[in-house]
Amino acid sequence: MKNILLLGATGSIGKSVLSVIKQNQNELNLIGISFNTNISKGTEIIEQFSPSYVHIENVSCFQEKKFFDTCSYINTPSELEDLINHKEVDIIVCAISGFAGLKAAYMAASSGKKILLANKESVVAGGDLILPIAKENKTEIIPIDSEHNAIFQCLNGEKGTEDVKKVIITASGGPFLNRSISELKNVTVNEALAHPNWKMGNKVTIDSATLVNKCLELIEAKYLFNLDENYFDLVVHPQSIIHSIVTYIDGSSICQMSSPDMRVPIAHAMSNENRLPIDFHSLDFTSLNLSFQEFPPDRIDIQNIAREICNKGSNYGAVFNAANEIAVESFINGKINFDKIYEVIYRTFDNKNVSNDLSIESINDIDMQTRIEAKKVVKSITN
């Protein structure tokens, strides 16, 4: 039996993780959860799964909560750190969304346990901090972002990455497939949130619509697989069936395929020696019509920023991530049009102020400063 601590339990990834646990109750047990404000969803999970520990990040929600005698409730960062390091916890799922997940991901990376990593923003902003800490503490990081889990599975059984020639990261293209940025000025938030293949949290769904998600994933992949950016190609694959492809030096290309369902990478990452069964939707190979197309040329500038970040490392990723988070939030709140998301990122990134100090404090500082800068750009656009 493996005890799972699910950080970000009330979100979309949280829901998929709970489904995998529910279908494998002989092997998996939910020992603890964390969330921010969604008390009603949190209460539902407690009623269904009886976790022993519940971390509520938001202080007023923590104070308002309904107590269950069966759980210990916690709120402070040191209590969260103790829970992450608790001897009963075997697997930590990092499924908090955005930069807010960095603190917990950093603690998890230091734990020496197995981490299932969904929170790509923590790697983009803090890759140079988190990966070395994980290595030092022998923490095993298994990606559950579908593309990265696919790459992980395609590399399985190989000695390392020396024989890898190329890694192709696939992108669905999102709801605005085949539409140029100039055609997207007046799209609504609801249109941008209507992803054709995946049902995800709002932030990552907007990132998919802008394709900034793929740029974040390029940086995430560079860190997780320790390969230079020039190994990675981004390719649009609208059906979201092939989740990524690894081409080896002998000409073999290996891909991982499944219906678009986050429970597939999660079940793989949760497994030990044997795979875990889930009620997946089978692919009908006789009716599959798979297509691929180039990454849109009008997103080359944003892709180039991601490649620059891969090459420079340091705290450049934290700037990119914070600028994007403010841009996305401003679009969702109706402050800027969809096409201005790129402008906020470009202009904030141009004014970047980067230190080479890779401590968690310094990354938090850069995140905070960048948010202030990005908000100024948003203001200048709205005025």
- Which residues would be at the binding site for ligand NDP (CB under 6 A)? 8-14, 34-38, 57, 95-97, 100, 118-121, 145, 198, 200-201, 204, 262
Nearer to ligand NDP, 211 or 247 (CB): 211
Q: Should residue 121 be labelled a site residue for Mg ion when binding is judged by CB under 5 A?
A: no
Q: What is the distance between the alpha carbons of residues 59 and 37, in angstroms, rounded to a whole number?
A: 9
Angle at 342 between CA 337 and CA 346, to 5 degrees: 135
Amino acid residing at 74: I
Rounded least distance, CB 287 to ligand NDP, Å: 25
Rounded least distance, CB 224 to ligand NDP, Å: 13
Rounded least distance, CB 212 to ligand NDP, Å: 11
Q: Should residue 261 be labelled a site residue for Mg ion when binding is judged by CB under 5 A?
A: no
Nearer to ligand NDP, 14 or 317 (CB): 14
Q: Which does 262 bind (CB under 5 to 8 A by kind): ligand NDP, Mg ion, none?
A: ligand NDP
Binds Mg ion (CB under 5 A): choice among 121, 128, 145, 207: 145
Q: Which does 12 bind (CB under 5 to 8 A by kind): Mg ion, ligand NDP, none?
A: ligand NDP
Q: Should residue 207 be labelled a site residue for Mg ion when binding is judged by CB under 5 A?
A: no
Rounded least distance, CB 160 to ligand NDP, Å: 25
Nearer to Mg ion, 198 or 346 (CB): 198
Rounded least distance, CB 34 to ligand NDP, Å: 6
Question: How big is the site for Mg ion, counted in residues (CB under 5 A)?
Answer: 3
8 A C-beta contact, residue 105 and residue 5: no
The residue nearest ligand NDP at its CB is 11
Nearer to ligand NDP, 10 or 240 (CB): 10
Q: What is the distance between the alpha carbons of residues 343 and 339, in angstroms, rounded to a whole number?
A: 7
Q: What is the distance between the alpha carbons of residues 205 and 11, in angstroms, rounded to a whole number?
A: 13
Rounded least distance, CB 65 to ligand NDP, Å: 11
Nearer to ligand NDP, 245 or 247 (CB): 245
Rounded least distance, CB 145 to ligand NDP, Å: 4
Rounded least distance, CB 93 to ligand NDP, Å: 10
Give the interface segment with Mg ion, choosing from 14-22, 137-145, 158-166, 342-350 (CB under 5 A): 137-145
Nearer to Mg ion, 36 or 208 (CB): 208
Q: Which does 91 bind (CB under 5 to 8 A by kind): ligand NDP, Mg ion, none?
A: none
8 A C-beta contact, residue 104 and residue 82: no
Q: Which does 118 bind (CB under 5 to 8 A by kind): ligand NDP, Mg ion, none?
A: ligand NDP
Q: Which does 115 bind (CB under 5 to 8 A by kind): Mg ion, ligand NDP, none?
A: none
Q: Which does 46 bind (CB under 5 to 8 A by kind): ligand NDP, Mg ion, none?
A: none
For the chain, the three-class secondary structure string (H helix, E strand, C coil) is CEEEEEECCCCHHHHHHHHHHHCCCCCEEEEEEEECCCHHHHHHHHHHHCCCEEEECCHHHHHHCCCCCCCEEECCHHHHHHHHCCCCCCEEEECCCCHHHHHHHHHHHCCCCEEEECCHHHHHHHHHHHHHHHHHCCCEEEECCHHHHHHHHHHCCCCCCCCEEEEEEEECCHHHCCCCHHHHCCCCHHHHCCCCCCCCCHHHHHHHHHCHHHHHHHHHHHHHHCCCHHHEEEEECCCCCEEEEEEECCCCEEEEECCCCCHHHHHHHHCCCCCCCCCCCCCCHHHCCCCCEECCHHHHHHHHHHHHHHHHCCCHHHHHHHHHHHHHHHHHCCCCCCCHHHHHHHHHHHCCCCCCCCCHHHHHHHHHHHHHHHHHHHHHHHC
Nearer to Mg ion, 266 or 366 (CB): 266
Q: Which residues bind Mg ion (CB under 5 A)?
A: 145-147
